[in-house]
Amino acid sequence: MSVQKKYFIKLVVLVLAITSISLSAKSQTDQIEGLWYNDVKSGKILITKAANGKFYGKVVWLREPLKNGKPKVDELNQDPSLRSRPRLGLPVLADFVKDGDKKYTDGKIYDPLNGKTYSCTMTYKGKTLDIRGYIGISLFGRTTTWTRVE
């Protein structure tokens, strides 16, 4: 076999190996992972799955990132020591566990517009994600719909 044929075969094997690894990694991505617009499209939230198997989300884009010429901060947080942290990069979703095909439960959502944290569930609906924040029981809550960033 010629040297060129050997290199060609090695190249083909390498490309196939990289492709299969890439497809394998992509198939392990959960359906809610990725970028989502909040309900009024004033921010984008990146949802990721952590090593502990739970899902988290943080603000990665704001339509209006500045207030009075300075980056917006978490000024309404109930903890005074957290009021100076930037809104960009702010964690807003925490500790969600996948519960069935389309439901995510046992999580918390932080609302930087009022500085409060609520219990939360999420329901995946393809290009949308229903976010239900509540206090105590889900009956006493509010649902908003986030849209996947295309």
Find the range with the poorest average confidence among 20-34, 54-68, 113-127. Answer: 20-34
Residue type, 54: K
Task: Please tell me the least confidently modeled range out of 7-16, 29-38, 40-49.
Answer: 7-16
> Computed from CA positions of residues 96, 100, 103, 105, in that sequence, does the dihedral angle turn out positive or negative?
negative
Give the C-alpha separation, 106 to 41, whole Å.
Answer: 25
| pLDDT at residue 13 tops 90 | no
Over the stretch 83-116, which tens digit does the pLDDT of each residue have?
999 999 999 999 999 999 999 999 999 999 999 9
User: What average pLDDT is seen over the chain?
Assistant: 88
pLDDT at 123 over 50: yes
Q: What is the mean pLDDT of residues 115-142?
A: 94
Is pLDDT of 24 > 50? no
Q: Is residue 7's pLDDT more than 70? A: no
The residue-averaged pLDDT of 53-71 equals 96
Q: E strands within the chain?
A: 34-37, 43-49, 55-62, 66-67, 70-71, 91-98, 103-111, 116-124, 128-134, 141-148
- Bridge partners of 98, per DSSP, are 104
- Tell me what the mean pLDDT of segment 41-68 comes to: 97
Report angle CA 51, 55, 56 to the nearest 5 degrees. 105
